[in-house]
Amino acid sequence: MFVVLSYFQLLTSLGISVYSITNRNNKVVNNINIDFQLKKGWQSSRFINIKVALAYLLLIVMAYSSVVFLGRTLQPVHYYSVELEGITTEVGSGSYQGRTPINTFNIDLATPAYYEWPINRLVGDLYRQGEIPIWNPYQAAGDPLAVQYSSRVFFPYQILENISPTWTGDYFILGRLWFAGFFTFLFLIALRLSILPAFLGGLFYMFSGSLVWFINLEQMANVAMMLPFMMFALEKIVAQGTGSSIALAAIAMALVLLAGQPEVALYVLALGGLYLGMRSIDLYGRNLGRPLFVSVIAGLLALGLAAPLLLPFLEYLGEAYHMHQPSRNLWQEGFTPLQWLIATLIPTFFDLPIQHRLGPENGIWDYLGGYIGILPLLLMMFALFQVKSPWWKYLIFFFTIGSCIVLKNIGIFPFKYIGALPLFDQTWSQRWAGPVWTFSFAIVAALAVEMLWNKKRRKPITSIVIITSIFRDNHAVESERLVNKIPTQILWIVPSIIIGGLLIFLIFKSAILIQFDDLEGQKYFASAVFMGCAVAFFTLVGALLILKYWGNSKSGLYALIALALNELWFVIPKGYPPEFLYLKLIPFVIGLIVVWQCGKQRWKKALFGTSIVVFAYGAIDYMAPRGLPEQADPFSPPPYVEFLQEQEGLFRVAGGGGVLMPNFASAVGFYDVRFISSLSVKTYHDFVDRFLRRYPLPFINTLWFTGLSKRYDGMLSIDVNKFTQEAEKDIQAQLRFYSVLGVKYFIMPSSSNLKRKDIGASDFRLVYDQEVKIYENLKVLPRTFVVHDIERANNYEEAQTLAGHQKFDFRKQAVVEERIPNAESITHHSDSHSEIVHYGARQVELQVQTSRPGLAILTDVYYPGWRAEVNGQPTKIYRVNGLLRGVWLPEGEHQVVFSYWPASFQIGFTLAGISSLICLVLVMLSVFGRKTICLKCLNWHDRK
């Protein structure tokens, strides 16, 4: 626990220090008549920030008390440690015997479980070894790593997580919520909001669906947490334009670019650009020269700081297969059904059990991108008509941004054509724009609270009067007095509930009927729909009562904060059985009592009630037989992994039928020919489709070469026997191509039988038969060898076609696409041989003996960034057979060294260094200049 608190203290100090520097600078610039009250005010502001930071920390600990105190985990790998007879998709599942959740997470969990977290382990291992993680030697016969972009290898927060012990992963996950909430608060404070409305805005965002639903999808959560930090920095640069604010904005935008998913970053940066424009016009009118200049400088510095990722990524796009070609018109695919939007207001609506996904199939939550709950919507409705408020223009700006994205996602004309803009036409906004619209609506809600509780307001807000009139007697409208007669109130409330329920059913009928697709789903109907609607209704009623009775008091703000927490905590998904979902009503009802006590300023009772709420949620989680998994090392090796680790030689493996998802091979140091990637080297991708499978991968899974059936659908029942049979047929039909890549061991489900006569019993030897079966490939080729019979092809497609001919002998023949000077094909026997003496992530060393000139082949993927030296002299690398690396050698003994350090990375790191130096100079000039001003002002004060 001490380590956890120390870690959060570090984050708190970082956030406070950033705010303090820029806040102090702002005070000096805007109030040159400085005196000792400035110092006192700054200290008071800093103290408030510390209290707010600790309050956010405490609320996160309370909301996820089962993770902090009961040993549960949010790491997605254990969500998938499920009872799939005969297969083990992860390396850690063999030893994990703890609790697992019922999969009511209607979302793509396969991506974080099978793609992200194993890569995190690999990246952390490479950093600890002193390697820059730019190449992955363990999957796809070698694969670019950093330029996958979503691998997040240069994002500082991710680096800290990856190099830390595995058990700290949950606290890094929760740290993202804290960071997002705290900097949302600082951004709102920078907009001159009061403390409590700003605090509430941070709550709305950090507990929104874009962070809670996607809490362990780190490529999204990283960018989501950097969004408010960037907005805070942009507010500083447009308001101040000083050197330190330029550096801060550059760092913030660079971190957005480095954080993870580029599709999220695109929408985040678009929001930032629009906000800069709006604020610049608001502050400077037509005099936009200075804000435009400092913004351009900050943008250029941000590109420089992110250059180690951006330049290699742009280079990789020319060599890679990806699913975001402009011609695809991705923006026209998969509009969110209108009926599903109900879950953005009632997040439990689709909390029903679904099939475990073994591929990147999107769920309903992916189509929504997040939720905000019912309370922000109500606050927005009240504030939209307060046109005389100084905050109204900001409210309209963020409301417009959020609304445009939501309307685009459901395909409403003309908003859907936002997706036709350059770059936006290559993004899928339904999921990836979620942080932008949830953040926008969180800001709108905070602004609404500020407007509603503004002390200068004297007249009652018309919208509140109209809506809360349902609690009034018809004969008392003119006097605007509440009716205290309960029967009269019931006459208004009961029909409202009935009419509202009918409207919900008619509008969202198709969404409701999803609950009845199967018998298991029907068990969750009441907890998902009725309970969700009840929570939304009582939240609305509570908000109306707060606005009515305490709309002008500070206690009303505290009651509103308590009400928001009561709603947002209730909808956090935990994977409970239906009977335990009903128990969540107990802490919710107690929470409503706490709200009332806050409004009445009965702080001791409110604190006692809050303690009961937290204890009740903890007790429910403790008693529930299913729910969030228990903390365990997801990479603890099961027996079959230990067996393979004991085998000698430099070999590759391939799992089939769902066994050992490929990125887990990277996590434990196995060289695998399969892959899960965001982009793939095009030559290898084509080779897989043509020669490692009988049928091409389906489009949705084209970057998930896992050994599953081509007919596999993650939403259907998992048929292990079908997976196994399809994998056996692929291996039988394409064994010679697996062999040339050095695949020595096939890891199969326990029900498999590769030694059947119809498959080719003489080609395999069963070497392990326990929880899985491991077959040794008796026809495997060495990872490096020398050939002398050379053919020419015009391009890599033709080369792969020639090499794929049934009579082609990989051990003796090769196809290249360029003329080799002084090369002659020799078809008779040769004594040449090659062996690997060192194999690292970015360097491979061969010792080669050639009896006559020949082509030394390394069965790793050819990629332009690799360089080769023969006996210390640079030499050309040829693409062999449309896929592999080869160097032409004369007769004799040779030391061949392949190394990977592309010019794009070298230039990128150079630009990052220069940009960092410029940022440092800007900060120093700003700091020293500020000190000079402060000293002069203090001396002037002393003379007075």
Per-residue DSSP letters for 46-59?
HHHHHHHHHHHHHH
Q: Is the pLDDT of residue 264 over 50?
A: yes
Render pLDDT for 415-437 as a digit per residue (tens, 0 to 9): 999 988 989 988 889 999 999 99
Do 919 and 832 lie in a common domain?
A: no
pLDDT of residue 456: 42
CA pair distance 223, 246, nearest whole angstrom: 20
Do 291 and 262 lie in a common domain?
A: yes
Give domain status of residue 547, yes or no: no
Q: Which of 453, 436, 300 is nearest to 383 (CA)?
A: 453
User: Once rounded to an integer, what is the mean pLDDT over residues 151-169?
Assistant: 95
Render pLDDT for 815-845 as a digit per residue (tens, 0 to 9): 999 998 877 766 666 788 999 999 999 999 9
Helix (H/G/I), strand (E/B), else coil: 166:
helix
Q: Which of 168, 156, 188, 157 is nearest to 52 (CA)?
A: 188
Give domain status of residue 702, yes or no: no
Which range of residues forms the domain containing residue 54? Answer: 1-63+151-322+905-944
Q: Using alpha carbons only, give the angle 132, 137, 138 rounded to the nearest 5 degrees.
A: 120
Do 279 and 293 lie in a common domain?
A: yes
Q: Which of 185, 263, 192, 264 is nearest to 229 (CA)?
A: 185
Give domain status of residue 670, yes or no: no
Q: Is the pLDDT of residue 460 over 80?
A: no
Give domain status of residue 546, yes or no: no
Between residues 520 and 665, which one has the greater pLDDT? 665
Give domain status of residue 595, yes or no: no
CA pair distance 644, 774, nearest whole angstrom: 9
Do 201 and 218 lie in a common domain?
A: yes
CB 350 within 8 A of CB 365: yes
Render pLDDT for 719-761 as a digit per residue (tens, 0 to 9): 556 667 777 888 888 999 999 999 999 998 888 888 766 555 6
Do 871 and 942 lie in a common domain?
A: no
pLDDT of residue 510: 54
pLDDT of residue 552: 82
CA pair distance 411, 404, nearest whole angstrom: 10
Do 174 and 280 lie in a common domain?
A: yes
| Structural Rg of the chain based on CA atoms | 31
Assigned token pair, 203 = 């709550």
CA pair distance 334, 428, nearest whole angstrom: 9
Render pLDDT for 554-593 as a digit per residue (tens, 0 to 9): 899 999 999 999 999 999 999 999 889 999 999 999 999 9
CA pair distance 187, 279, nearest whole angstrom: 13
Highest mean pLDDT among 331-340, 461-470, 634-643: 634-643
- DSSP assignment of 871-926: TTEEEPPEEETTTEEEEEE-SEEEEEEEEE--HHHHHHHHHHHHHHHHHHHHHHHH
Q: Which residues pair with 858 in a beta bridge?
A: 784, 885
pLDDT of residue 310: 97
CA pair distance 184, 176, nearest whole angstrom: 12
Helix (H/G/I), strand (E/B), else coil: 748:
strand
Do 927 and 842 lie in a common domain?
A: no
Strands (E), 265-327: 320-321
Cβ burial of 298 (10 Å; 0-12, 13-18, 19+) is buried
Distances (CA, A) of 903 to 152, 386, 866, 867: 20, 56, 10, 11
Q: Is the pLDDT of residue 935 over 50?
A: no
Give domain status of residue 139, yes or no: no
Specify the DSSP element, H or E, that contains 193: none
Do 160 and 276 lie in a common domain?
A: yes
Whole-number percent of the chain with pLDDT over 90 = 57
Q: Which of 151, 4, 41 is nearest to 677 (CA)?
A: 151
Q: Is the pLDDT of residue 405 over 60?
A: yes
pLDDT of residue 520: 63
Q: Is the pLDDT of residue 800 over 90?
A: yes
778 CB-near residues (< 8 Å, 6+ apart): 762, 763, 764, 765
Q: Buried b vs exposed e over 535-553: b needs ≥16 C-beta within 10 Å?
A: bbbbbbebbbbbbbbbbee
Between residues 525 and 628, which one has the greater pLDDT? 628
Q: Is the pLDDT of residue 165 over 80?
A: yes
- DSSP assignment of 11-23: HHHHHHHHHHHHH
Do 174 and 273 lie in a common domain?
A: yes
Which residue type does 286 have? R
Q: Which of 446, 524, 436, 420 is nearest to 192 (CA)?
A: 446
Render pLDDT for 85-140 as a digit per residue (tens, 0 to 9): 444 555 555 556 778 888 888 888 888 988 999 999 999 999 999 999 999 999 99
Q: What is the longest distance spanned by two Cα atoms in the chain?
A: 109
Do 936 and 798 lie in a common domain?
A: no
DSSP assignment letter at 815: E
Q: Which residues pair with 885 in a beta bridge?
A: 858, 879
Indicate the pLDDT class of residue 44, thresholds 50, 70 and 90: low
Q: Is the pLDDT of residue 9 over 50?
A: no
pLDDT of residue 505: 53
Do 914 and 886 lie in a common domain?
A: no
pLDDT of residue 657: 78
Give domain status of residue 461, yes or no: no
Indicate the pLDDT class of residue 707, thresholds 50, 70 and 90: confident
Do 158 and 202 lie in a common domain?
A: yes
pLDDT of residue 694: 82
Helix (H/G/I), strand (E/B), else coil: 1:
coil
Between residues 473 and 64, which one has the greater pLDDT? 64
When mean pLDDT is compared across 170-179, 219-228, 419-428, the lowest value belongs to: 419-428
Indicate the pLDDT class of residue 360, thresholds 50, 70 and 90: confident
Cβ burial of 502 (10 Å; 0-12, 13-18, 19+) is exposed
When mean pLDDT is compared across 19-23, 604-608, 819-823, 899-903, the lowest value belongs to: 19-23
Instruction: Output the CA torsion sign for 534, 74, 57, 16.
Output: negative
Number of domains present in the structure of the chain: 2
Give domain status of residue 829, yes or no: yes
